[in-house]
Chain A
Amino acid sequence: MELWMKIGSAILLVTMLVIIFPQAKRMMKESPKGSASDWTSALIPIGLVAVFIIFLIMVV
């Protein structure tokens, strides 16, 4: 990647961090706590996504 592209990408990412941060702070503060079963119900489908990606990698 050319240097100016690297600097441009870095500027874009820093801007994104600056803009997202206040919203992120609010989300962290307002987010309700999940129970163990809540997390299980979320982690199972995400685990299946991981398995699916491994399958795709094996197929390609």
Chain B
Amino acid sequence: MATPELVRTRPIEATFATNKLIRNTYTLLSMTLIFSALMAGVSVMLRMPPMTYLLALGGAFVLMWFVLPRTANSAKGLGVVFGITGLLGFSLGPMLAMYLSLPNGPQLVGMAFAGTGVIFLGLSGYALLSRKDFSFMGGFLITGFLVVLMAALANIFLAIPALSLAISSAVIFIMSGFILYDTSRMIHGGQTNYIIATVGLYLNIFNIFVHLLHILGVMGGDD
């Protein structure tokens, strides 16, 4: 008698756990996005110098690589997530200030922001509604990401505008793939920690926003 009951209740429990994970992830993601936008606003208002980008990014990576793995299973992890996303938001200040000073700057920033929102909601919604398993994309996406990182490293010194544009386009496509991959991992049990899931999705959104703004800025005729 116990076995059929177990068979019946297990999928319900698994579904409940998945729904809870998705709900917690999206709630935390919305909160961190708002916090991040506020920090970006503060950074713009304080007219932070360009080195802010590098320093805040470095600080966020230290938290992400060395602190988050140790705290992700405790309440401290929440503070770390806000630390990471706050620093990443703050890092955007000098870049946003530069774009906002252009004649069509507010339009560019607004369009990149709205575009990122549409891309994220569309892809994440697609992965959630279709419930397809995109785990097969993992190897392809990470290989692409490594190639893009190496190209970005070379372009720091080469400074080729066309390569920079190609890198931005590639980052948007890879991060779009990661949105499908990360969302499907939550649905199919590949990711059970909502704190780590939030950071993953946040990074996808952050990268899409930065690189979409770059593409729109170049095509808008600012560079």
Contact = CB atoms under 8 A, between A and B. Distances in A.
B108 interface: yes
Contacts of A49: 119, 122-123, 172-173, 176
B138 A59 contact: no
Interface size on A, as a range, is 35 or more
Contact of A33 (B58, B136, B156, B169): B136
Interface size on B, as a range, is 35 or more
Chain B interface SS verdict (over half):
helix
A46 B142 contact: no
A28 B145 CA distance: 12
A49 B133 CA distance: 19
Interface of A: 1, 5-6, 8-10, 12-17, 19-21, 23-24, 27-34, 38-39, 41-42, 45-46, 48-50, 52-53, 56-57, 59-60
Given A31-B140, A60-B220, 4 more contacts: A10-B156, A20-B146, A28-B138, A34-B137
Interface of B: 50-51, 54, 57-58, 61, 65, 104, 107-108, 111, 115, 118-119, 122-123, 126, 130, 132-140, 142-143, 145-146, 149-150, 152-153, 156-157, 159, 169, 172-173, 176-177, 180, 212, 215-216, 219-220
